[in-house]
Chain A
Amino acid sequence: MTTHPAPAPSGAPGTPGAPATKPAATRRIGARVLIGVLLAGYALVSLYPFLWMVSGAFKDQFEVVRGGHLIPEHPTLHILTDTWNRLHFLDYFLNSLKVTALTVVLTLLIYAAAGYAFAVLRFPGRAWLYRLFVALLFVPGVTVLLPIILLEHNLGILGTHYGLVLPFVNGTAPLSVMLLTGAFTAVPKELRDSARVDGAGEPHIFARVYLPLARPALITVALLTAIPTWNEYLLTKVSLNDESAYTLSLGLQQLSAQNVPQYNSLMAGALIVVIPVILLFLALQRYFVNGLVGAVKG
């Protein structure tokens, strides 16, 4: 399990003062077992709701109300296909995809440019503006929910997907600005200087020199934007009225709003919602972890 020598629990060789009452080998095994139990235990805690989500989605009406076993006695795909067909999940799915894609693309365009300006260009008010963007992090969602709705009503975009995308994009500002500014700051200044000597203009340097070098940070920001946007529920719920504009979150909510919630179709719907985002995470998780490392190290 562990091959790393450094924090081995056995009193390191040459430590006569250590209270080595038990033989080192026993203690090392004891520590390994403890670690194994802790890690496996939390893996179970982490997965437990998902295990039952999958289980519930494959149970028929009778079995799902009986509770009991994780493995369904008569597993059926019927609930999953039925839920998908009955509730226009394809439409909801495409709406979610549209909102998420638009949010990610706009976030990357807007904050890559802003991050470039913050990182390499000098202009009065730069540090002040930067702080303002980061401070946005502390505004509670519930404080702005109502004003956003009122403003969008006046602008006539309430209930449209653009009415969701614009606040979502702005909501990613603190994190996106911080990560992208950090990434552009890390690019060696000499590259920009030599490109300028070659006569390249600012847009050219940005697009041809900086953007390619910041690719990992761009992917991190895309992922950190896509995940919460896909899962978003609150603003979507209070904004959208027209069922044809619904995203997956609202489709799922509709399922539970029936008089008696059918947990098997609710879990089937939940599974449809989480699978795409899990796949996206698994495909790009390398960037996610590295991006966070960069953020912590500053």
Chain B
Amino acid sequence: MTALGTSSSASTPRTVGAAARPSHRRGTPGSRGREALTGYLFIAPAVVLFAVMGLYIVGYGFLLGFARWNGFAPHWDWVGLDNYADLLWRDPVYAPRVHEAARHTLYVMIAVPVLTVAVSFPLAVALARVKRAQAVLRSVYFLPYVTSGIAVFYAWQYILQPDGAVNYLLGLLGLGSLQEPQGFLGNPATALPTMIVVTVWTEVPVAMLMYLTGLQTIDRGLIEAAELDGAGWWRTQVSVVWPLLRPITAIVVLLTLRSALHGFQTFLIMTNGGPGTHTDVLGLEAYRLAFLSKFAPTLGLAGALGWMLFAVAIVLALINLRALRSRV
């Protein structure tokens, strides 16, 4: 859901600002007070829900990060920053697991944005040139987003099996040497790259549509001018179109970074971290600490890890927004 959200976040301050500026209507203090009251009444339901399901929840998670609790004991034991220290270096059980999960998460955070841009930009450029089949192809490319959920991940699991459809296709194409007799998720060497491919597959639709939309907003005159100056097609794409679409690339990178950092549903359903711990990621680790540790007092650890993920997300968003602003 949120995937599409940031698409406009870069422009939102402008939206509100633009609405605010011409609004200095003359009004008596009374009518202005009445308008403010109406305003509060209109946003009251959203704010109440936000206060409970947003602010309270996030604050609760933050506090929990400083406590030791198993979910059943009547009260929390305050342990200060112990949970953070245990996760980052101190605990002999959790720290190595977090390190390995962090390494995998980092691979995913590098590979997924790069591959998503590398696939969706050329795809959008190609699609923009097609007239008749465009609507149909766009729908086809969008299926992975529309169906993104447990059903589709089971389908992936099915085709990645040892005697599954991916090996079958490789055989048909004469690429038998690339087949995986253990299945792509069963071999420790291919499991994480395979999960990255599946993640990219779910991220491409939105990125592609955003590029396609961006391409349609580019002034035709600019491209014609470049071609009149003797730039070939490739040259035009690389030196004119790509730089013009940089704001969209920034948004795509932000969205894919976010899902690479937070997303673990695909991993939970398809590999559950396996084989061994070869596809363990931080989100999955936090989920296990929160829900799968029976009576062990790990809920505080889960809160701390969740908050670290939140902090990284905020830092990434700030860096990305700054980069975006400096370019435009």
**Residues of A participating in the B interface, judged by any CB pair closer than 8 Å:** 1-4, 6-9, 11-12, 14-15, 17-19, 31, 35, 38-39, 42-43, 45-50, 52-53, 56, 65-68, 70, 109-111, 113-114, 116-124, 126-127, 129-134, 136-148, 150-151, 166-167, 169-175, 177-179, 181-182, 185, 189, 202, 206, 224-225, 227-234, 238, 249, 252-253, 256, 263, 266-267, 269-271, 273-274, 277-278, 281-282, 285, 289, 292-298
Number of interface residues, chain B, beta carbon within 8 A:
122
Contact status B309-A143, CB under 8 Å:
yes
Query: Which residue of A has the minimal Cβ distance to B61?
Result: A147
Contact status B36-A122, CB under 8 Å:
yes
- Residues of A near B88 (CB, < 8 A) are none
Contact status A252-B151, CB under 8 Å:
yes
Name the one of A17, A67, A228 contacting B161, with C-beta atoms under 8 angstroms.
Answer: A67
- Residues of B near A147 (CB, < 8 A) are 56-58, 60-61, 64, 303
In whole angstroms, how far apart are the Cα atoms of A209 and B150 in the complex? 41
- Residues of B near A263 (CB, < 8 A) are 158, 161
Contact status B130-A2, CB under 8 Å:
yes
Query: B302 interface residue, CB < 8 Å from A?
Result: yes
Contact status A121-B42, CB under 8 Å:
yes
Contact status B306-A140, CB under 8 Å:
yes
Contact status B58-A139, CB under 8 Å:
yes
Contact status B152-A49, CB under 8 Å:
yes
A12 to chain B, nearest CB (A): 5
Contact status A249-B1, CB under 8 Å:
no
- Residues of B near A114 (CB, < 8 A) are 42-43, 45-47
Contact status A293-B233, CB under 8 Å:
no
- Residues of A near B13 (CB, < 8 A) are 131
Known: A48-B165, A144-B58, A170-B49. A18 touches B265 (CB 8 A): no
- Residues of B near A117 (CB, < 8 A) are 38-40, 42-43
In whole angstroms, how far apart are the Cα atoms of A66 and B149 in the complex? 26
In whole angstroms, how far apart are the Cα atoms of A81 and B230 in the complex? 63
A97 to chain B, nearest CB (A): 15
Residue-by-residue, is B211-249 near A (CB-CB < 8 Å gives 1, otherwise 0)? 001101100100110011010110010000000000010
Known: A18-B232, A166-B49, A298-B11. A143 touches B58 (CB 8 A): yes
Known: A143-B58, A277-B146. A296 touches B228 (CB 8 A): no
| Chain B residues touching A, majority SS | helix
Select the residue from A14, A142, A224 with max chain B CB neighbours within 10 A: A142
Name the one of B35, B64, B131 contacting A123, with C-beta atoms under 8 angstroms.
Answer: B35
Query: B310 interface residue, CB < 8 Å from A?
Result: yes
What 20 additional pairs, Cβ within 8 angstroms, besides A252-B151, A267-B154, A297-B217? A1-B130, A1-B131, A8-B233, A12-B227, A42-B141, A50-B155, A67-B167, A113-B42, A117-B38, A121-B42, A122-B35, A123-B37, A134-B9, A142-B309, A148-B57, A150-B71, A151-B52, A173-B54, A175-B2, A266-B154
Contact status B150-A249, CB under 8 Å:
yes
Contact status A42-B119, CB under 8 Å:
yes
Name the one of B8, B42, B149 contacting A179, with C-beta atoms under 8 angstroms.
Answer: B8
In whole angstroms, how far apart are the Cα atoms of A297 and B12 in the complex? 10
Contact status A274-B12, CB under 8 Å:
no
In whole angstroms, how far apart are the Cα atoms of A155 and B197 in the complex? 41
Contact status A274-B151, CB under 8 Å:
yes
The 8 residue pairs across chains A and B that have the minimum distance between CB atoms: A298-B11, A231-B149, A67-B163, A143-B306, A123-B39, A270-B151, A117-B42, A121-B39
Query: B107 interface residue, CB < 8 Å from A?
Result: no
Contact status A52-B165, CB under 8 Å:
yes
Name the one of A124, A142, A206 contacting B264, with C-beta atoms under 8 angstroms.
Answer: A142
In whole angstroms, how far apart are the Cα atoms of A26 and B266 in the complex? 45
